[in-house]
Chain A
Amino acid sequence: MRPRKYNSKGLWDWFNPAGRDVGGWAFMLSRISGLGLVVYLYLHLYVLGKLAQGPEAFDQFVAAAKSPLYILGELLVVAAALYHGLNGVRLVLNSFNIGVPRQKQMFYTALILSILGTLVFALRMFAAH
């Protein structure tokens, strides 16, 4: 008899918000922010590669990086790094069975601190330009 196919959407279920609880949202945001940071790492390496093309190429990029769109992109990186890092602390503590019954409150704390941190960065970054 042919084995039956699993009723599963695979990796898509990592990002499917339907019916998820608080922990599931924390998991999802952690995946999205982590993937975002990986994409950023490669973009960063690409931009550093401009240095090898000479000062003019790099200056051209620096001029473009002052546009609000770039700043918004950098702000997303800040938000992703803050959330991913703070939620990571929550997960490390939980992994040693510290605060597991309070994991939801720990997630809210990580989220609020990430939002506040991002706002501080936003004010400073947009004020500087």
Chain B
Amino acid sequence: MWKITYRIYRQKGEAPPHYDTFQVEVDPEEYVLDGVEKIWAFEDRSLTFRHACHHSTCGACGMRVNGVEKLTCITKIKDVTQDGGTLTVEPLRNFPIVSDLVVDLGPLYRKMEAVKAPPVHPLSLAPWEGEDIRPPKEVPTPPEGGEYIRLPDCLECGICISACPVAASDPEYLGPAPLAAIQIQGIDGRPELLALADSQEGVWRCHSAFECSAVCPSSVDPGWRIMDLRRQVVAKRLKTVLG
């Protein structure tokens, strides 16, 4: 077992924020979220944080761990500190703080709705799966005229928005996850989204820091998708101009 120090961001209502420290005994194989839960269970029941599935499906437990955005349910303690070390846990950036580690993800959800982010999509829409994830090798042929559907990779956890330096200075910017949601549907398939993608707060607001792709826990690679969406937008506009 390791003895580590959790340094946790606290903020309630209008009170000024501060950090509380807790000494916690943990198994290094445990996850950062496990430690936060131990603190809540045995040290301080007023600590507020959000979690649900514990296996990177719900996207609820996004936080900053030692300054870097992480999905805390899949971030092993041994990967972010050492025995006797300190873990600074803070809420996501670029969202309003509700309480302690809980932020209001409403602005992201509203943008996902505006871009008509699909709850499921055809399997063929996500053939590109990142470096370590590949589609199943043997997908049975769908019935005549049918198409398999799948859940999107994006968990809507808000981690990409938190890491984006542009989102820090422009809350109206659509941001990585919503732009990735437009890209996966394609401008050809959703021509009504062209104006939104090609707007001041759309693809052109991105300044290519690629922080979104660096922190995305689900291989969405929003940075790549935004660049591909730019290509789609330019191609569409050129087609319009050239007839």
Q: Residues on A close to B: CB < 8 A?
A: 3-14, 18-24, 26-27, 30, 91, 94-97, 100-101, 103
**Which residues of chain B are within 8 angstroms of A96 by Cβ–Cβ distance?**
227, 230-231, 234
**Which residues of chain B are within 8 angstroms of A12 by Cβ–Cβ distance?**
168
Given the complex of chains A and B, what is the CA–CA distance between A92 and B203 in angstroms?
14
**Which residues of chain A are within 8 angstroms of B165 by Cβ–Cβ distance?**
13-14, 24, 27
B210 touches A6 (CB 8 A): no
Q: Residues on B close to A: CB < 8 A?
A: 64, 66-69, 91-98, 103-104, 163, 165, 167-169, 171, 207-211, 213-215, 223-224, 227-228, 230-231, 234
B214 touches A24 (CB 8 A): yes
Residue of B nearest to A11 (CB): B169
From B67, B93, B169, contact of A14 by CB (8 A) = B169
**Which residues of chain B are within 8 angstroms of A27 by Cβ–Cβ distance?**
165, 207-209, 211
Given the complex of chains A and B, what is the CA–CA distance between A4 and B231 in angstroms?
36
Residue of A nearest to B209 (CB): A27
**Which residues of chain B are within 8 angstroms of A11 by Cβ–Cβ distance?**
168-169
Q: If A4-B104, A100-B224, A100-B227 touch, does A24 touch B211 (CB 8 Å cutoff)? A: yes
Given the complex of chains A and B, what is the CA–CA distance between A19 and B94 in angstroms?
15
CB proximity of A51 to chain B, nearest CB, Å = 37
Q: If A4-B96, A96-B230, A100-B227 touch, does A19 touch B169 (CB 8 Å cutoff)? A: no
Q: If A26-B209, A96-B231 touch, does A8 touch B168 (CB 8 Å cutoff)? A: yes
Given the complex of chains A and B, what is the CA–CA distance between A8 and B103 in angstroms?
12
Q: If A19-B66, A96-B234 touch, does A7 touch B207 (CB 8 Å cutoff)? A: no
Given the complex of chains A and B, what is the CA–CA distance between A18 and B230 in angstroms?
29
Looking at B66, B67, B207, B227, which has the most chain A CB atoms within 10 Å of its CB? B227
